[in-house]
Structure 1
């Protein structure tokens, strides 16, 4: 049985962005600033935090990262977990000064020790990548699990990746599946894509093409490029779904328009063979050309196609390739 051409997507999610206002606070104007400033001056940690959010995002005040850091620090030093988290993120992202992963770690750790799931996730990222601390997969797994147990989807996804690759302990396909499933059910596109691959290949679960299609579809509809490619492959081959060349072309085109070389190559094949579209050697050549530009060896396909084309058609196809690329795939016909 043919398998989907795809591998587990291994990429640690980046540090999460700061949390927003808490419990319905909607401070977007100067009046809110005037209300909170006196409270913040009196040492109210919640008001200090909210001023930090306002200055960071330019809500009701001119954006000023240094002011944001100052107010976050005042709240953070009083043990306000959200402020500690945001201060850690600002140091990681060099907002308001030099990038400082050690400071980022210290403030993130304070929030994480209070049970803040986003901060626990960020510590997992730091330990996984050696940012501000020595790289340590076991510590990374521990912090991801703390956040994952609180329902943090990105932590669940990253934990699935680590179990899939045996980072921080024994490789375990079943645990990897379990964590991907939790994240996928929360709408995490990377986890949905990985479940599609897992079901296609029977890794830690019984092989199931229909389940593979369903999870791949969820990820593809969120714009996951590899899932879009895999969905095209499934429609082209009737894997987990009825064969449908038009659907295959549509999904290949979505992935191809995002620069995915394998989808560009397969889309070229569909045009060259007239599957799901009218046969069009020029457009087939164009997509082969773009796939080659993006790193695939398409010479054998050119050797088959070019003898059936005139030099004028080849020149036009090359010009079409240039127009498509220059438009960032917006004008590919």
Structure 2
């Protein structure tokens, strides 16, 4: 969103030739003292004599409907009379009329023509508008370097909008060498004049530490200044700072307040975050249905996380009727934007045939896209498909590769499968000690299969010293997690143990559970 505060000369021009001085001065005086009708009558006298300044001033009155009925056609005629006499302010205003389709068909080329004439005379507003046209390619060939030239000329005269735009160019490196410090300089100049967009961008720079020392408190300050002017991006960012407690006390209610203001202006990220707050009951009464409402609004704007959350809601039937087809629809929209979670979930729908015909090739495709982005669930799933040869050629080495990536992120199922691979020597050289290591990592996360397998390694003395006490403990923990076979193995190993060993194993298992599996040996 680009805030453009156009200063279109609300103060009437004062220069006048001696021949028509009295009516012109009378017109100015009448306008100053709140008598626009007298002003119009006096300006008409001078306009008839060809005074360019009076033509411009009377044109402004028709433009704004002051002392006369608003009439863009008459305003344009008067602006043109003054502009053809070389009056820069009239040239700018005439260009603006063509630019904004006020009383004439929109014509960017004609707007550029008049902006250029005014800009050449040093009119800062025209220089700024001409810069915009070069940046957008409206009415002429797009040329960012030329845009920078005109922004710089206007910015040097203190035009806040041009200072802001010049800052954007330095930040993006369009038309010049990227320079975040220089971007900060121009943002600061514009922000000091109250330009809300510049205040927001300056806040972003402080938050990211680009072009200056990172300072979240300073970021909050600038976000707040812009937010109180109604800048939706700043309102969202300020809400986020309260949400996460960055340089302000964490305050979900305050976060909700700012998210709501931004969301009401259509800010999709704020709509998504407001939806999260309703879903989680943070800062307001939990209301998943209201959360869905805001996610739907954000999703309609293309917000990928909201699209993903809608997909999950339809998949699980959470506050909406369960609908796999609708879930697939939202997953796909988010997935095509690169959302890794959505890509993984879309892969799962193809794998399971939920909402789409079962298709392992398509499942592998979406898992791979997500896995390459580092999604640990997709890495696990892709590894599983390589292990089984589903949708891809069976390849145990490739399976191990993807499980290892997921396991390194703490994915318990992948850690367990990696342990299985080392125990069997499938895709890697057989290595019982390495199998034990991966089983243990998964077991302390509560994976009952890994707990059972770790117990078996202690029972057989594979990769660890034979230890019936620890075998019993891990079988006991696995059984408590719901793994039926663990009960049988626990009973078998019990026969090899003394009553004291059994008591110790039970105490260790109990202590391990009380410590949330953090201290088990």
Check if 1:276 corresponds to 2:322: no
| 2:171 and 2:179 in contact (8 A); partners too | yes
Per-residue deviation at 1:287?
3.4
Return closer, same or farther for 1:78/1:288 CA change in 2, 3 Å cut-off. closer
What is the TM-score normalised by the length of structure 1?
0.79
Report which stretch shifted further, 190-199 or 27-36.
Answer: 27-36
Matches within 5 A, 1:44-123: 44-123=87-166
| 1:18 and 1:85 in contact (8 A); partners too | no
Check if 1:242 corresponds to 2:289: no
1:177 aligned partner:
220
Q: Secondary structure at the match of 2:177?
A: coil
Return closer, same or farther for 1:167/1:40 CA change in 2, 3 Å cut-off. same
| 1:163 and 1:170 in contact (8 A); partners too | yes
Deviation sequence 1:240-273 (CA, Å, 0-9, x none): 1111111112112222223333222322333344
Check if 1:138 corresponds to 2:181: yes
Quote the RMSD (CA, aligned, Å). 2.7
Return closer, same or farther for 1:301/1:206 CA change in 2, 3 Å cut-off. farther
Report which stretch shifted further, 208-217 or 285-294.
Answer: 285-294
| 1:234 and 1:248 in contact (8 A); partners too | yes
Check if 1:229 corresponds to 2:276: no
Q: Secondary structure at the match of 2:210?
A: coil
| 1:20 and 1:53 in contact (8 A); partners too | no
1:150 aligned partner:
193
Per-residue deviation at 1:293?
4.3
Per-residue deviation at 1:207?
1.3
2:261 to 218, 221, 244: 218
| 2:314 and 2:320 in contact (8 A); partners too | yes
Q: By percentage of residues, which structure has more helix? A: 2
Deviation sequence 1:79-98 (CA, Å, 0-9, x none): 22211111221222223322
Question: How many Å separate the matches in 2 of 1:163 and 1:153?
Answer: 15
Deviation sequence 1:75-130 (CA, Å, 0-9, x none): 22222221111122122222332223333222222221221111111111122122
2:349 aligned partner:
302
1:331 aligned partner:
none
Q: Secondary structure at the match of 1:98?
A: coil
Question: How many Å separate the matches in 2 of 1:161 and 1:243?
Answer: 31
2:234 aligned partner:
191
Question: How many Å separate the matches in 1 of 2:274 and 2:98?
Answer: 44
Question: How many Å separate the matches in 2 of 1:221 and 1:192?
Answer: 11
1:267 aligned partner:
310
| 2:7 and 2:125 in contact (8 A); partners too | no
| 1:248 and 1:276 in contact (8 A); partners too | no
Return closer, same or farther for 1:262/1:87 CA change in 2, 3 Å cut-off. closer
Report which stretch shifted further, 43-52 or 278-287.
Answer: 278-287
The structure having more radius of gyration, on CA atoms, is 2
What is the TM-score normalised by the length of structure 2?
0.52
Question: How many Å separate the matches in 2 of 1:293 and 1:114?
Answer: 45
Give the count of matched residue pairs. 297
